[in-house]
Amino acid sequence: MVEKRIPLAVSQAVQHIMNYASEGPEEYVSLESAYTRFLAQDIAADQDVPPFNRSPYDGFAIRAMDSQSASAEQAVRFKVVGTIGAGFVFEERVQAFEAVRIMTGAPIPLGCDAVVMLELTMNEEVDGQAFMSIKRPYTTGTNISYQGEDVKKGDILIEKGQSINPGIVALLATFGYAEVPVFRKPIVGIIATGSELLEPNEALVPGKIRNSNAYMTMAQIERAGATVKYFGKFSDDLAVCIDVVKEALSEVDLLITTGGVSVGDFDHLPAIYAALEAEVLFNKVAMRPGSVTTVAALNGQLLFGLSGNPSACYVGFELFVKPIIRRILGSAKPHLRKEKALLGEDFTKANPFTRFVRATIHFANGQLIATPSGFNKSSAVSSLATADAFIVLPGGSRGYEKEMLVDVLLLDDLQGSEWPWDNITKYSKL
Amino acid sequence: MVEKRIPLAVSQAVQHIMNYASEGPEEYVSLESAYTRFLAQDIAADQDVPPFNRSPYDGFAIRAMDSQSASAEQAVRFKVVGTIGAGFVFEERVQAFEAVRIMTGAPIPLGCDAVVMLELTMNEEVDGQAFMSIKRPYTTGTNISYQGEDVKKGDILIEKGQSINPGIVALLATFGYAEVPVFRKPIVGIIATGSELLEPNEALVPGKIRNSNAYMTMAQIERAGATVKYFGKFSDDLAVCIDVVKEALSEVDLLITTGGVSVGDFDHLPAIYAALEAEVLFNKVAMRPGSVTTVAALNGQLLFGLSGNPSACYVGFELFVKPIIRRILGSAKPHLRKEKALLGEDFTKANPFTRFVRATIHFANGQLIATPSGFNKSSAVSSLATADAFIVLPGGSRGYEKEMLVDVLLLDDLQGSEWPWDNITKYSKL
């Protein structure tokens, strides 16, 4: 009577899904709106930075050789033959014992090879002619920012798939990207299921709870870098549900449903997948929470059936949906970033399944420490508010003690991992 | 001739600015758009979670006492007296050797105190009446999610000033926040200065560079949680500049200028501050890069004069502007988050000033390691693209060696520090 489901190891489940992953199309956005988008092309330097030798300070440009006899006792005096502001070019070649007043960022005049900072000069005017004196010698190159010292023309500066941060914006501006090639944000649809669900603006009534999964998942979709399309809640009528899914699939890149994937009589998703002739890639994963996570494919498009339990839904999204989104956005490391951390407290109850424990991380002298963030049932919602990592505890017969080194997967991260699973799953009993 | 400026220790400069910090006004946004906003009120639980005792599985609700004699040899049979789906309430009290078919999330019927998972039951129908049998005893409480086990009514769940993450969205939905109280995003204005600046869409010409600071700072403003208003580039005419600043101040909460704060003849900012009768809080800071960072106050409003050099501008924003933004957004820890890290490579050149070295962080077995991210002059732009931290090197006569434990300030972080400066500046020679 009850459908028998074969649990898949997490790594295998992820691998099944990643077979459907590919880079999405690109689009151009203005530089002002490029922050947090994902670069769709490698950015190479089409010029040196700086583009010319320039002065890093306000001062005087001189020929260093003219300063060689200067000393505290015997200053050397230069005739000031001009002033050069940033953005302008001094047209003549500077001659012996001549100096040019130069502003920060201005090009070094022809003939000059050193800059004396303004505060180290003495200045006077004789018959309307300005003179500048210095009391120490300078070597060639003093206070000169050389062409190309920061970036050389042709250097690959940033590889595609990177999330654009403020520093990358600065580089894009420097290289003239008024319009920036980025990956188009995939559109991820959400449909909630469950007769018990009220919307947040509805008053509680006995037996019902408010729909937290859909809104939580919307935020996870945005954090992953995609755009949300919310289709509301399923009808109780199966035929209507099938139509809603069909329609939704035509409007989104990926479709998520929350709830309805268990083996209960009121869980419609298996029937919907069957009616659509979608191929169910898996419907049980050897993990806690989220074991009922189901993924189906239809004409190359993925349908994610996440659990109706908040923690299970949250974990399912991060493990299975996020890497697809990050691949569409060009990332070569689309999975959650895996690091090592010390376990912040005992977690002694053994469990045959790999567990993803919602955890809060902090540092002690630079050492990452991960502590379970509270109530850890699959139905928990409170522990998600302070979770910034999952502690991965391989299934087995033993518990885990405080200060053991464990694997953690970081949630607020833009770097990711190429494939975090092998080392984790080899401990699994499955 | 040259104005003599007295450098202030970083901690003192920050303290001067923080005297002007206060929480901003709140506004309400829809739950769908609350992600990444900052909560303006503490969120307390106005109900238990779960709000009633419920079933975490599909199965049968029973009275545990009726199962005590069940064994592999001798099953106990229950009469199935009804079915209860999530969202509904079973109205009668369950009697001896009766069971109710129950779905995940449904309330436990009156009289029942245990749930048997569906897959552990045998089912049959006799003359149209359903029966269920089990082969082991259950104890009171088996497979019941108790009212309030996740969250107790009255608990303070999240404190104001927190950035709203997906887990917090789930809590807000659970507690019926269709509209969420958040701090209004402060508006931060930017004016660029520098005759050498071209916009990103302009072709390079000798002596000029593209304006990277304004766009970079826009992204930093967004990362901090505020909204940008860009006023373009200053005119060369001082009177026009003064009018532009006056006008801008009436439209923004904070105003940033980039460049024009040095002692050079073409640096207008000191004259603008004087013309507006703004109080200059400081115009030199004992730090590298960014020593020319200037901050002035006018009628309680702050004017940030950041350096024209990209790295100096970047550092100045993160140290001085970001904490003001985060205080407006309600954070009790508005400063960059300070942690310890191992230095990833030698940084041997001594410097009398506190240095903020742009760095890339990674982990080795959970230990934070910070490595300078490249070319580190104040004019550098390339090193900013990979920077996710500043290494703080106190000024002094010694260099720093690989694997020394150093202070780092994290850039992509939402937690912050209350006051990161004391331990850092006590090493300073100033």
Residues 6+ apart with CB under 8 A from B296: B273, B278, B279, B280, B281, B302, B303, B305
Min CA distance, B347 vs chain A (Å)?
18
b/e sequence A163-172, b meaning 16+ C-beta within 10 Å: bbbbbbbbbb
Q: Which amino acid is at A163?
A: S
pLDDT of residue B427: 39
Q: What is the pLDDT of residues B248-264, one digit of tens each?
A: 999 999 999 998 876 66
Is B166 in Cβ contact with A223 (below 8 Å)? yes
Is A385 in Cβ contact with B158 (below 8 Å)? yes
Q: Which residue of B has its CA nearest to A158?
A: B385
Q: Higher-confidence residue: B399 or A249?
A: A249
Min CA distance, B69 vs chain A (Å)?
25
Q: What is the pLDDT of residues A100-129, one digit of tens each?
A: 999 989 999 999 999 999 999 999 999 999
Query: Which residues in chain A have Cβ-Cβ distances shorter than 8 Å to B58?
Result: 262-265, 267
Is A177 in Cβ contact with B106 (below 8 Å)? no
Q: How do strand A129-134 and strand A114-117 relate by DSSP bridges? A: unpaired
User: Reduced to 3 states, what is the DSSP secondary structure of residue A381?
Assistant: coil
Question: How far is Cα B428 from Cα B326, in angstroms, rounded to an integer?
Answer: 26
Closest by Cβ to A58, choosing from B56, B170, B264: B264
Query: Which residues in chain A have Cβ-Cβ distances shorter than 8 Å to B56?
Result: 309, 377-379
Question: How far is Cα A147 from Cα A47, in angstroms, rounded to an integer?
Answer: 10
pLDDT of residue A267: 76
Is A87 in Cβ contact with B197 (below 8 Å)? yes
Give the torsion through C-alpha atoms of B44, B48, B51, B56, to 10 deg. Answer: 110
Question: For residue B14, what are its two tokens?
Answer: 């920050």
- Please state, as a whole number, how many other Cβ atoms lie within 10 Å of the Cβ of residue A129: 10
Question: How far is Cα B198 from Cα B204, in angstroms, rounded to an integer?
Answer: 7
User: Reduced to 3 states, what is the DSSP secondary structure of residue B302?
Assistant: strand
Residue B385 predicted with pLDDT over 90: yes
pLDDT category, B428, cuts 50, 70, 90?
very low
Query: Which residues in chain B have Cβ-Cβ distances shorter than 8 Å to A308?
Result: 104-105
Is A50 in Cβ contact with B209 (below 8 Å)? yes
Q: What is the pLDDT of residues B264-293, one digit of tens each?
A: 666 789 999 999 999 999 999 999 999 999
Min CA distance, A294 vs chain B (Å)?
17
Percent of residues in chain A assigned helix, strand, coil, to nearest 5: 20, 30, 50
Question: How far is Cα B3 from Cα A406, in angstroms, rounded to an integer?
Answer: 58
Is A209 in Cβ contact with B377 (below 8 Å)? no
**DSSP string computed for B409-430:** EESS-SS-BS---HHHHTT---
pLDDT of residue A263: 61
**What percent of chain B has pLDDT above 90?**
83
**What percent of chain A has pLDDT above 90?**
83
Q: What is the pLDDT of residues B207-221, one digit of tens each?
A: 999 999 999 999 999
User: Reduced to 3 states, what is the DSSP secondary structure of residue B107?
Assistant: strand
Residue A1 predicted with pLDDT over 80: no
pLDDT of residue B263: 61
Question: How far is Cα B16 from Cα B320, in angstroms, rounded to an integer?
Answer: 10
Question: For residue B249, what are its two tokens?
Answer: 């101040």
Min CA distance, A339 vs chain B (Å)?
6
Query: Which residues in chain B have Cβ-Cβ distances shorter than 8 Å to A388?
Result: 165
Is A58 in Cβ contact with B263 (below 8 Å)? yes
Is B89 in Cβ contact with A412 (below 8 Å)? no
Q: How do strand A122-126 and strand A129-134 relate by DSSP bridges? A: antiparallel
Average pLDDT for residues B15-26, to the nearest whole number?
A: 97
Question: For residue A2, what are its two tokens?
Answer: 């009850």
Query: Which of A121-130's residues contact partners 24+ apart within 8 Å by CB, and which partners?
Result: A121/A59, A121/A60, A122/A75, A123/B1, A129/A79, A129/A80, A130/A79, A130/A80, A130/A101
Instruction: Give, in order, the Cα–Cα distances in Å from A185 to each of A165, A190, A325, A327, B217.
Output: 17, 16, 8, 11, 24
**What percent of chain A has pLDDT above 70?**
96
Q: Which helix (H) or strand (E) holds A192?
A: strand A187-192
Residue A425 predicted with pLDDT over 50: no
Average pLDDT for residues B401-406, to the nearest whole number?
A: 95
Question: For residue A154, what are its two tokens?
Answer: 């042709």
Question: How far is Cα B35 from Cα A218, in angstroms, rounded to an integer?
Answer: 9
User: Quick check: A321 and A224 in contact, CB under 8 A?
Assistant: yes
Is A309 in Cβ contact with B56 (below 8 Å)? yes
pLDDT of residue B374: 82
Q: Which of A35, A119, A205, A340 to mutate to test the interface with B (most CBs of B within 10 A)?
A: A35
Query: Which residues in chain A have Cβ-Cβ distances shorter than 8 Å to B265?
Result: 58, 83, 85, 101, 103
User: Distance from first CA to last CA of chain A, Å, rounded?
Assistant: 25
Is B309 in Cβ contact with A170 (below 8 Å)? no
Is A170 in Cβ contact with B216 (below 8 Å)? yes
Average pLDDT for residues A420-425, to the nearest whole number?
A: 70
Closest by Cβ to B169, choosing from A86, A216, A363: A216
pLDDT of residue A374: 82
Query: Which residues in chain B have Cβ-Cβ distances shorter than 8 Å to A386?
Result: 167
Query: Which residues in chain A have Cβ-Cβ distances shorter than 8 Å to B195?
Result: 85-88
Average pLDDT for residues A202-220, to the nearest whole number?
A: 95
Residue B297 CB burial class (10 angstroms; 0-12, 13-18, ≥19): middle
Closest by Cβ to B206, choosing from A89, A339, A385: A89
Q: Which amino acid is at A128?
A: G
Average pLDDT for residues B133-154, to the nearest whole number?
A: 95
pLDDT category, A396, cuts 50, 70, 90?
confident
pLDDT of residue B387: 95
- Please state, as a whole number, how many other Cβ atoms lie within 10 Å of the Cβ of residue A225: 22
Question: How far is Cα A320 from Cα A294, in angstroms, rounded to an integer?
Answer: 10
Mean of per-residue pLDDT scores for chain B: 93
Is A151 in Cβ contact with B210 (below 8 Å)? no
pLDDT of residue B424: 55
Question: How far is Cα B74 from Cα B64, in angstroms, rounded to an integer?
Answer: 16
Q: Higher-confidence residue: A187 or B238?
A: A187
Q: What is the pLDDT of residues A360-394, one digit of tens each?
A: 999 999 999 999 998 777 778 889 999 999 999 99
Can you list the domains of chain B with their CATH numbers?
Answer: 10-28+185-328 (3.40.980.10), 30-46+151-183 (3.90.105.10), 59-134 (2.170.190.11), 337-425 (2.40.340.10)
User: Quick check: B225 and B326 in contact, CB under 8 A?
Assistant: yes
Residue B39 predicted with pLDDT over 80: yes
Q: What is the pLDDT of residues A11-29, one digit of tens each?
A: 999 999 999 999 999 999 9
Average pLDDT for residues A208-226, to the nearest whole number?
A: 97
Residue A64 predicted with pLDDT over 70: yes
CA A82 to chain centre: 49
- Please state, as a whole number, how many other Cβ atoms lie within 10 Å of the Cβ of residue A19: 9
Residue A39 predicted with pLDDT over 80: yes
Q: What is the pLDDT of residues B71-101, one digit of tens each?
A: 999 999 999 999 998 899 999 999 999 999 9
The residues that bridge with B197 in the sheet, in sequence order, are B209
pLDDT category, A430, cuts 50, 70, 90?
very low
Is A211 in Cβ contact with B51 (below 8 Å)? no
Residue B245 CB burial class (10 angstroms; 0-12, 13-18, ≥19): buried
pLDDT of residue B381: 87
pLDDT category, A423, cuts 50, 70, 90?
low
Residue B137 predicted with pLDDT over 60: yes
Name the DSSP class of A351.
B
Residue A52 predicted with pLDDT over 90: yes
User: Reduced to 3 states, what is the DSSP secondary structure of residue B370?
Assistant: strand
Query: Which residues in chain B have Cβ-Cβ distances shorter than 8 Å to A158?
Result: 385
Residue B151 predicted with pLDDT over 60: yes
Residue A66 predicted with pLDDT over 60: yes
Dihedrals φ, ψ of A241, to 5°? Answer: -60, -45
Instruction: Give, in order, the Cα–Cα distances in Å from A22 to each of A18, A34, A189, A253.
Output: 8, 22, 18, 12
Q: Which of A84, A266, A404 to mutate to test the interface with B (most CBs of B within 10 A)?
A: A266
Q: What is the pLDDT of residues A264-312, one digit of tens each?
A: 666 789 999 999 999 999 999 999 999 999 999 999 999 999 999 999 9
Q: Which of A33, A52, A104 to mutate to test the interface with B (most CBs of B within 10 A)?
A: A104
